[in-house]
Structure 1
């Protein structure tokens, strides 16, 4: 997701073997069709030198390819950090124009059972190319969604067909990949992208699409992307469809995230108003702007991190916020948790008052 626009005469993904039509193959994209693509795909890089992040990983893999010693690979890390883009660019570098017949991409989120290993992967891995030498490539995306049984079956397939196949396993959570598979692969962690890396790519997209965006809007986009290029491009495309020019407020409204001014007001109420007033004001603001309490808690946490507070008070509030976030994730009602949020700050204020008196 970090390179120039993809070549219009080449497909996005690599193609399939005898797989009952489940393998993923995309027809070439023309100019008209490219205009209708999500920008995530429209601006996906196609070559390794177009990737502008994780240069240490890219240089290592490039050396593997140049020396024809590519091992089995395991790419892991948060979403939107370039894992799939990197291996697709590797496939192009490895095979050139032949990559469509030499590589197979499967998404384990959809095809996650043992039948995929037995039918598609095993069939593709066991067939050799008549007029070419070297190994083929199997890209297994979202592999952390594979069942334990399928992962165990994959161990034997990797060992049996290593002579003519290399596997690239891609996942977000490496802990969901069984140790036996991890030990068979060279692991690479894709960290969240830095803001300057995301901005470089966004500047290219903004210029190419002729987007009018303010500086505060761009800063809001970078903040909300959380190091995820896919998220940044999706937010930019959605906001561009609804607002012109794109401002900070437009970005926050489009994503449903609370505005910084709203969070400042909420924190002010929590510290300075009595329980009933603070609860009533925050509840009214939530309803008026359609805000989720979980998002408010996240932003309040970030605000508290930069506010000067006594140590015990900071510890108390962070502990309560973590508890509230967990409660919300398990299905507790927002009204009850909002009451607990306001109550936690009242306890924090009481503790701060006691500490000031004893000092």
Structure 2
């Protein structure tokens, strides 16, 4: 099986739950081999550790009422970080020992799994958790831990987590340690590293003014406050996409520039220059100025 999708959506938990349901606590350690990114998983490990584990047949004796099928399970978490040579070496191992061993591949990016390996698996895509699912689980945790969370704080937590339940739990845990059992929306934003919404809207308002000096001043304020520009670009994108007063063509121009700026930041470009470039292009897009300046 191949489980893929964004982090924090339950891929590894699902695989482990299936393994425990099949073998129970007694046989789990002898029937299941779990390897993740912290383990060495190069081609030598595939040829030795994984192959040796897969080659040994097991019986069908049931224990504790669990099914205990006559095969073992190898769980390869974060399989997209495996080298291509290691993935190619697995192809033969999977075919040779298919009667006695089953494989779980877990990854965030299915495109990094070679096609010959992916084609041998049943694929299951895990999508980001919906706000309703996130809220229900967070409220359950809050009730069990004695933490108070109002409706606005709950909505904020769901928003800044982007469907990642593990991230939401981490934010909630950090906020509870810092601010006590009563947590507000502001507390969650401060521990998450998210940029306050009014800062993002102020940048857009300065661009709508059409004056470069106003936008430049706002950019300087953002840099001086130490906000990460990559995070700001992500939140600025959401504001632009959901803005009702900006035509689609202008949105497309702005989003294109945001993508270019994000790539430049990944490559190590200066944050101030990239944010100023984004602000400048946003002004040009909003006022239908030509994309390239003519001297």
Length-normalised TM-score, structure 1: 0.74
CA shift in 2, pair 1:259/1:161, >3 Å: same
Deviation string, structure 1 residues 149-192 (Cα, Å, up to 9, x no partner):
11111111111111111111111111111111112111111111
Residue 8 of structure 1 is matched in structure 2 by: none
2:275 is aligned to 338
The residue aligned with 1:316 is 253
Report what 2:30 is aligned to.
Answer: 101
Query: How many positions carry a matched residue from both structures?
Result: 280
> 2:108 is matched with which residue?
172
Q: Deviations over 1:247-290 (max 9, x none)?
A: 111111111111112222221112126212321233223422x2
CA contact (8 A) 1:144 1:173 kept: yes
* Equivalent residue for 1:229, pick from 157, 161, 165: 165
- In structure 2, the residue corresponding to 1:99 is in which secondary structure? helix
Structure 1 partner of 2:264: 327
Superposed CA RMSD in Å reads: 1.9
Structure 2 Cα separation of the partners of residues 207 and 124 of structure 1: 43
Check conservation: 2:219, 2:272, Cα contact below 8 A. Answer: no
Tell me the TM-score normalized by structure 2: 0.89
1:205 and 2:141 are equivalent in the alignment? yes
2:214 to 268, 271, 277: 277
Structure 2 equivalent of residue 27 of structure 1:
none
Q: How far apart are 1:130 and its partner, in Å?
A: 5.6
Q: Tell me what 1:61 maps to.
A: none
Contact 1:74–1:170 (CA under 8 A) maintained in structure 2: yes
Give the 3-state SS of the residue equivalent to 2:147 in structure 1.
coil
CA contact (8 A) 2:3 2:123 kept: yes
Matched, 1:136 2:72: yes
1:115 aligns with 2:44: yes
Which string of whole-angstrom CA distances, capped at 9 and with x for unpartnered residues, describes residues 68-108 of structure 1? xxxxx111111111111111111111112322221111114
Residue 125 of structure 1: aligned partner: 54
Q: Is residue 114 of structure 2 the alignment partner of residue 185 of structure 1?
A: no
Partners of 2:38 and 2:121 in 1: CA distance: 20
**In the alignment, is the contact (CA less than 8 A) between 1:104 and 1:137 conserved in 2?**
yes
Matching residue of 1:75: 3
Unaligned residue ranges in structure 1 (runs of 5+): 1-72, 353-359
Q: Which residue of structure 1 lines up, in the alignment, with residue 284 of structure 2? A: 347
3-state SS of paired residue (2:73): strand
Indicate conservation of the 8 Å contact 2:129/2:163, yes or no: yes
SS in 2 for 1:345: helix
Measure the CA separation in 2 of the matches of 1:103 and 1:89: 12
Aligned to 1:87: 15
Whole-Å separation in 2 of the counterparts to 1:286 and 1:252: 18
1:159 aligns with 2:95: yes
Query: Contact 2:202–2:218 (CA<8 Å) still a contact in 1?
Result: no
Residues 233-258 of structure 1, C-alpha deviations (whole Å, 9 max, x = no match): 11111111112322111111111111
Does the 8 A contact of 2:156 with 2:185 survive in 1? Answer: yes
> Is the Cα–Cα contact under 8 Å of residues 239 and 246 in structure 1 kept in the other structure?
yes
- C-alpha spacing 1:272/1:106, structure 2 compared with 1 (3 Å): same
Shift of 1:228: 1.0
Using the alignment, how far apart are the partners of 1:310 and 1:345 within structure 2?
A: 12
C-alpha displacement of 1:145: 0.8
**Runs of 4+ in structure 1 over 4 Å off:** none
**Residues 1:284 and 1:200: Cα distance change in structure 2 (over 3 Å):** same
